[in-house]
Structure 1
Amino acid sequence: MSYKKAEKIGMYLKFFILLVFGILLMAPFVWMVSVGFDRSANIAMPFPPRLFPDDASGFNFTIVFENGRLIQSYLNSAFVTVTSVMLAVSSALLAGYAFSKGKFKGKRLLFVIVLCTLMIPMEPRLIPLYKLFNSVDLLNTFWPLILPSIINGMLIFLCKQFFDQLPDTIREAAQIDGAGEFKIFFQVYAPLAGPIAATMVILSFIGSWNDFLWPLVVLSNQELHTVPLYLASFSLENGTSLGGLTMALATVSVLPIIVLYLFLQRYIIQSIALSGVKGE
């Protein structure tokens, strides 16, 4: 067998394996959408599970979009998520640039401390954070959901690694022209950081939009509930009944993430490929 033929067979084999895994990953989502369009699922969940409903109907989605509590939870999640993403991405870009191109005492130690935060999950931080926000009387507000997102160790690490790929000669040329650090960052490096910024937007958006445990701890007022909290409360109230309506709610809850990913996917591919000007 020739080398080219073996390479072609290997390529087809990889494609087939990826296709199989892709179908397996998509099957639960397709089933969720299918049940959402199945009006009879409100009486009893279809068994065995089927990918396409026998009698498709938009009844469940009509009820969903007429639900005032869902709309309010959407607005709450949108405000929290957009604000958190803006703060997280902005601070990560600034910190990543400082750790990559800046020269100051204790830089390595500070960066190690940032990396150490990646090893601490959310659960051990729940009680200290709860006591902190309770002491300043910020419980049952959106601030406990927004402020902790300002410092994100993973995003800072990604930014630093991205800026490390950009040559220092760009910064030196700007300094020769008399530009200060903020001008260099905003006019030179920030425009080049589009791909990594898109990746960070996706990561922080998913983390904030899907966050359940922390909002459950700090929000007891139903008017402030986010989409995951509303979906959980709806499921608890109805148990195994209204399965079609529950799946319709779940489908609507993930739509913003899908739309955002489809919009930013080309930038994410660029960031994975480490696009940008490289220097020796």
Structure 2
Amino acid sequence: MNSRSLLSKIAMYLILLVMGVLVISPFLWMLSVSFDRVSNMRIPFPPSFIPSEFAIFNYELVFENGRILRAYLNSTFVTLASVTLQVSAALLGGYAFSKGKFRGKKALFILVLATMMIPIEARLIPLYQMFNASGLLNTLWPVIVPSILYGFGVFLCKQYFDRIPDSLREAAQIDGAGEFRTFFQVYLPLAGPIAATMIILSFMGNWNEFVWPLVVLNDENLHTIPLFLASFSLENGTALAGMTMALATMSVLPIIIAFLFLQRYIIQSIALSGIKE
């Protein structure tokens, strides 16, 4: 029985190793091409994970163009503002639906969940008309403001706050604390894991957002990283593969950094808060 268990574990690890290699291979090839000096003249084929002539030449060319720095600033501003609004609204909404007592709470919560089922394609025209009427088109605000509606985040926060006993809220109310004070001083300090999880998900979603910014941002000076990468690829195709891969590497670097720092909180957010009822 022990040998059978050992063999099953070895087989499982081998399968996971093979799947991991298959998943990470495109990223390793992208990194290899970005550091290959001759990749702008021809794409290495068959694909190789070791650059034929290692150099940072492609990255130097990328940073010589000031547009990528402007695109980085635009993406950073949009992402940080959107993440702040999304996470704040989700935490407050999740707390209200979990601990609040008001008429129509279940119906309103179902309505919030229903927003998750409406694809962005169905909302493009109404959102475009709304921002066009308000005169905010071709600014960064149409990209930021709709991010407040984060139904999935509200759902996650509600499920997390449901696991925290109501006795904490009752004790705070006995001490004379109002709802906002109870939330900020009692429940918010316990919501670190779920907040970190939402920051990761929100950061990835907003940093990679492409369709909606493409509709509302026509000025190249306002382009975010995905729009800049798409326009560069459209202009050059595969003629400058090395520069394109260097741009792609720079575009995913912030997401990788954020994930490496916050990944452990994903598991913690699934577990109980550690407070026994």
Instruction: Please show how residues 10-159 of structure 1 align to structure 2 within 5 Å.
Output: 10-159=8-157
SS of equivalent residue, structure 2 residue 263? helix
C-alpha distance in structure 2 between counterparts of 1:173 and 1:7, whole Å: 49
C-alpha distance in structure 2 between counterparts of 1:108 and 1:194, whole Å: 26
So what's the TM-score if we normalise by structure 2?
A: 0.97
- Displacement after TM superposition at 1:25 (Å): 0.6
- Displacement after TM superposition at 1:8 (Å): 2.7
So what's the TM-score if we normalise by structure 1?
A: 0.96
In angstroms, what is the RMSD of aligned CA positions?
1.1
- How many residues are paired up? 277
The residue that corresponds to 2:265 in the other structure is 267
C-alpha distance in structure 1 between counterparts of 2:201 and 2:134, whole Å: 29
C-alpha distance in structure 2 between counterparts of 1:27 and 1:256, whole Å: 19
Instruction: Please show how residues 113-262 of structure 1 align to structure 2 within 5 Å.
Output: 113-262=111-260
- Displacement after TM superposition at 1:31 (Å): 0.4
- Displacement after TM superposition at 1:278 (Å): 4.2
Can you give the 5+ residue segments of structure 2 that lack an aligned partner in the other structure?
Answer: none
Verify: 1:277 aligned to 2:274, yes or no.
yes
CA contact (8 A) 1:167 1:277 kept: no
- Displacement after TM superposition at 1:34 (Å): 0.4
Partner amino acid, structure 1, of 2:105 = K
C-alpha distance in structure 2 between counterparts of 1:13 and 1:162, whole Å: 35
C-alpha distance in structure 1 between counterparts of 2:272 and 2:74, whole Å: 35
Runs of 4+ in 1 over 6 A off after TM superposition: none
Partner amino acid, structure 2, of 1:130 = Y
- Displacement after TM superposition at 1:271 (Å): 1.2
Please list the CA deviations of residues 196-217 of structure 1 after superposition, one character each: whole Å capped at 9, or x if unmatched: 0011001111111000110000
SS of equivalent residue, structure 2 residue 70? helix
Can you give the 5+ residue segments of structure 1 that lack an aligned partner in the other structure?
Answer: none
